[in-house]
């Protein structure tokens, strides 16, 4: 069981109740003329038993936590809370940080559990315990504030700030904590700041997904350059008309047909799309990077999405430290050292197919998902959570990993939003009692635990039924999920009319370099009624970072899984719910939860969208809009029952795009001369009737295509 210990902070409300509000921090932010000031109140900590047998002796470890905080996690060293968030600063500025802390509170005779940083979602790891670190008579961590960056994150300039309110002396078993910590981020003009403007808040970028990424910041509001009056961008606010495609498809020549089919569909939906052969780009890692960065890097570029259409023998992938990765194709630069975390500045994905036939099959599933979503309203309530209660020897009823607890923390939020979640859990202990954090396992979870064979049958049944989203947390390999088991061989039993989007968060299930055989992600994407696109890893991945990723993947669509700070800050979903942006959001959250370190860097490199990065996930039953069109007096009249945000109309004659419109009102009137068409003036009996197509698309709405004869 966990126990609450107070840090005796000042400044809490008189009505604050630790039993009701818990240990979640209270944060306030104030922006002044030349600085950003942040005040943190840490009410307390939770502490729970985490006994561990080492060398035949049971050691009374204690696990310490703070709700809403991540951890400072170094393999085998004491695991301590670290509260991290991004803070926005103006482009063209440098900074220095000052800290003020309260009188510390001491806790004696505590043996803090060590971080299991090397633990992966694969079998066979031992318990990590750094004996030398636990004999040191010094406080850890040495620094209470860790600053990384600046980072470019979805056209914000941000720094990541981690506050460590606890310090631990292992030799003395002494833990000290601070209930109040304040920092002042002093801003000053940066030398050579004109080089720092491109891509940050000085650029008004209509393609930004800021609504969602602001969830990870303490000061997300736009226009910080104007608010911080003493720090000005050298070029001021730049207004411009963006150019070029939003979506770039790079294809192998043998896969031109499916690439063109996908591009045409995306243009019909209103996404400006361009295709280019890898032969034109150059099929080396350096050439691919240079091409994508060059297209994204010029000031007026719209480019936000890149798809590599072809397996790695057709479009090369990069090898970094033993990892096969496409990650740095989507970043502004390469890392400068082994722990340099570079966030993507475009959202990328790969369709790793060999033949045009396979490519067309995958593309058809993508189009079917977006164009003809299921009409069954219950489909949009259904999800499946699959996870494993792992309690290795000596089994004590307490989970060694947080697989199920992670999924349960997500489920508690989604159930409140009226989702119906099928639980498929398995356990290697017939008597599970406590989660990894020491909290009791609810009876509902115990009742959801089944044997592996039954779990596989349930997964096949659920995927055949069709799930809005399916998440898996446990071990994995290129052949599929280990617990609950779902392997490539099982997929032949799936018969589905409805697709199931998958978050396959484990090891190697997205290993698209496993040629000539297909990995699990490739197999499920090729399956009719499987996953039109999914998120999975190419390599072995860290358990604790995977737990954080899973939370962020759901938070990106249904905010509230991850708490926002300050407390009155609203949560927003990532704009458009596109799969590539959702993955980038979860990567950004890794820095918030775990800091910038080599483990986070590896995670960036290991996770990919297997499929289409622009795939728009359905968050709920899509709405239907009424669309009426007519030609009168040499004008085309389009009347919509409403004008949704981010709606796009495209007008076509045969396969030719005549006009793309972002409507601002429910009625649109277009002179026919603007479409370069006019009704024929021949006598009625001899007139040839032609037709144009009007297509409507908007996030959260069903696609509409109507034909109008003239």
| Same-domain check for residues 172 and 223 | yes
Burial of 169 (0-12, 13-18, 19+ CB in 10 A): middle
Question: ∠418-528-493 over CA atoms, to 5°?
Answer: 85
Whole-number Cα distances in Å, 43 to 21, 46, 118, 169: 9, 10, 31, 21
pTM of the predicted structure, to 2 decimals: 0.94
Q: Give the Cα separation of 634 and 673 in Å (integer).
A: 8
| Same-domain check for residues 528 and 638 | no
CATH no. for residue 673?
2.60.40
| Same-domain check for residues 703 and 597 | no
Is residue 49 in some structural domain?
yes
Burial of 368 (0-12, 13-18, 19+ CB in 10 A): middle
| Same-domain check for residues 600 and 632 | no
> Which domain range does residue 683 map to?
627-709
| Same-domain check for residues 631 and 594 | no
Structure tokens, 639: 């009347």
Residue matched to tokens 């406590």: 434
Is residue 147 in some structural domain?
yes
CATH no. for residue 404?
3.40.50.1460
* pLDDT value at residue 638: 97
Is residue 252 in some structural domain?
no
| Same-domain check for residues 593 and 655 | no
Number of domains in the chain: 3
| DSSP-based three-state secondary structure for 454 | helix
- E strand residue ranges, 205-304: 247-251, 273-277
b/e code 314-338 from CB counts within 10 Å (16+ = b): bbbbbebeebbbbbbbbbbeebeee
Is residue 334 in some structural domain?
no
| Same-domain check for residues 448 and 419 | yes
Using the 8-state DSSP alphabet, how is residue 312 labeled?
Answer: T
Structure tokens, 565: 């700070």
Residue matched to tokens 């969208």: 609
| Same-domain check for residues 18 and 155 | yes
Q: Give the Cα separation of 392 and 396 in Å (integer).
A: 8
Is residue 616 in some structural domain?
no
Asked which of 549, 579, 610 is the last residue of a domain, the reply is 610
CATH no. for residue 188?
2.60.40.3800
| Same-domain check for residues 605 and 637 | no
Between helix 579-594 and helix 543-555 the angle, nearest 10°, is: 130
Q: Which of 225, 201, 202, 203 is nearest to 213 (CA)?
A: 201
Phi, then psi, of 174 in degrees rounded to 5 = -110, 125
Q: Give the Cα separation of 473 and 386 in Å (integer).
A: 6
Residues 6+ apart with CB under 8 A from 101: 144, 178, 180, 181, 182
Whether 133 and 170 have beta carbons less than 8 Å apart is answered as yes
* pLDDT value at residue 198: 45
Burial of 434 (0-12, 13-18, 19+ CB in 10 A): buried
Asked which of 554, 581, 610 is the last residue of a domain, the reply is 610
Whole-number Cα distances in Å, 617 to 49, 370, 574: 41, 8, 11
| Same-domain check for residues 519 and 668 | no
Q: Which of 167, 159, 57 is nearest to 107 (CA)?
A: 167
* pLDDT value at residue 154: 83
Is beta strand 635-640 parallel, antiparallel or unpaired with respect to 420-427? unpaired
Q: Give the Cα separation of 1 and 571 in Å (integer).
A: 31
Task: List 502's β-bridge partners, or say none.
Answer: 470, 534
Mean pLDDT, consecutive 10-residue stretches, the chain (710 aa), reads: 89 76 89 94 93 88 93 93 95 90 96 90 78 96 93 89 97 97 92 50 48 90 79 53 93 98 97 98 98 92 96 96 93 88 96 97 96 96 98 90 97 97 97 92 97 98 97 96 96 91 97 86 92 96 95 97 85 94 97 92 96 98 96 92 96 93 96 77 57 95 93
| Same-domain check for residues 377 and 425 | yes
| Same-domain check for residues 43 and 158 | yes
Between helix 403-415 and helix 543-555 the angle, nearest 10°, is: 10
Q: Give the Cα separation of 173 and 186 in Å (integer).
A: 36
* pLDDT value at residue 13: 80
Q: Give the Cα separation of 139 and 155 in Å (integer).
A: 38
Q: Give the Cα separation of 141 and 255 in Å (integer).
A: 53
Is residue 217 in some structural domain?
yes
């Amino acid at each position: 069981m966990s126990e609450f210990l107070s840090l005796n902070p000042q400044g809490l409300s008189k009505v604050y109740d630790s039993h009701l509000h818990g240990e979640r921090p209270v944060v306030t932010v104030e922006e002044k003329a030349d600085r950003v000031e942040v005040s943190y109140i840490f009410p307390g900590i939770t502490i729970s038993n985490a006994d561990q047998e080492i060398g035949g002796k049971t050691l009374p470890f204690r696990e310490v936590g703070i709700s809403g905080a991540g951890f400072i996690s170094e393999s085998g060293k004491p695991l301590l809370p670290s509260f991290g968030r991004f803070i926005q600063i103006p482009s063209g500025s440098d900074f220095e940080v000052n800290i003020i802390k309260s009188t510390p509170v001491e806790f004696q005779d505590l043996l803090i559990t060590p971080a299991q940083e090397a633990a992966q979602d694969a079998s066979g790891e031992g318990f990590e315990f750094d004996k030398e670190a636990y004999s040191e008579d010094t406080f850890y961590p040495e620094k209470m504030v860790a600053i990384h960056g600046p980072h470019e994150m979805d056209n914000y300039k941000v720094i990541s700030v981690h506050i460590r309110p606890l310090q631990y002396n292992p030799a003395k078993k002494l833990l000290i904590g601070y209930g109040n910590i304040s920092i002042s981020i002093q801003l000053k003009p940066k030398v050579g700041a004109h080089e720092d403007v491109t891509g940050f808040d000085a650029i008004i970028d209509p393609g930004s997904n800021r609504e969602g990424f602001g969830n990870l910041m303490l000061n997300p509001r736009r226009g910080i350059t104007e608010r911080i009056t003493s720090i000005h961008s050298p070029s001021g606010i730049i207004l411009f008309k963006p150019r070029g495609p939003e979506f770039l498809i790079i294809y192998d020549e043998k896969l031109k047909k499916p690439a063109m089919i996908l591009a045409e569909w995306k243009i019909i939906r209103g996404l400006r799309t361009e295709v280019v052969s890898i032969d034109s780009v150059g099929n080396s890692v350096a050439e691919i990077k240079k091409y994508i960065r060059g297209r994204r890097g010029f000031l007026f570029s719209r480019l936000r999405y890149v798809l590599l259409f072809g397996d790695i023998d057709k479009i090369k992938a990069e090898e970094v430290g033993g990892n096969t990765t496409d990650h740095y194709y989507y970043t502004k630069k390469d890392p400068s050292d082994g722990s340099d975390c570079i966030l993507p500045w475009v959202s990328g994905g790969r369709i790793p197919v060999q033949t045009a036939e396979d490519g067309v099959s995958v593309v058809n599933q993508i189009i079917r998902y977006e164009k003809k979503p299921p009409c069954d309203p219950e489909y949009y309530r259904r999800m499946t959570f699959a996870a494993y209660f792992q309690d290795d020897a000596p089994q004590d009823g307490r989970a060694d990993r947080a697989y199920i607890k992670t999924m349960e923390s997500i489920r508690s939020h989604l159930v409140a939003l009226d989702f119906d979640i099928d639980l498929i859990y398995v356990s290697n202990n017939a008597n599970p009692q406590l989660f990894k954090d020491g909290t009791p396992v609810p009876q509902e979870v115990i009742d959801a635990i089944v044997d592996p064979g039954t779990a596989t049958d349930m997964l096949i049944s659920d995927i055949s039924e069709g799930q809005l989203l399916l998440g898996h947390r446990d071990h994995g390999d290129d052949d599929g999920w280990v617990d609950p088991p779902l392997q490539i061989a099982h997929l032949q039993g799936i018969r589905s009319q409805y697709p199931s989007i998958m978050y396959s968060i484990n090891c190697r299930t997205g290993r698209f370099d496993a040629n000539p055989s297909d990995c699990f992600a490739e197999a499920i994407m090729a399956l009719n009624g499987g996953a039109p696109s999914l998120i999975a890893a190419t390599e072995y991945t860290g358990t604790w970072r995977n737990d954080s990723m899973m939370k962020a993947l759901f938070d990106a669509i249904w905010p509230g899984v991850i708490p926002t700070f300050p407390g009155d800050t609203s949560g927003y979903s990532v704009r458009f719910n596109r799969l590539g942006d959702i993955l980038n959001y979860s990567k950004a959250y890794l820095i918030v939860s775990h800091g910038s370190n080599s483990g986070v860097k590896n995670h960036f490199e290991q996770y990919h969208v297997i499929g289409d990065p622009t795939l728009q996930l359905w968050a709920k039953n899509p709405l239907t809009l009424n669309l009426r069109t007519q030609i009168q007096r040499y004008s085309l009249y389009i009347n919509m029952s409403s004008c949704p945000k981010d709606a796009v109309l495209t007008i076509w004659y045969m396969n030719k795009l005549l006009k793309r419109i972002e409507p601002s009102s429910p009625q649109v009137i277009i002179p026919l001369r603007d479409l370069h068409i006019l009704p024929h003036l021949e006598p009625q009996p001899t007139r040839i009737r032609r037709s144009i197509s009007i297509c409507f698309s908007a996030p959260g709405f069903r696609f509409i295509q109507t034909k109008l004869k003239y």
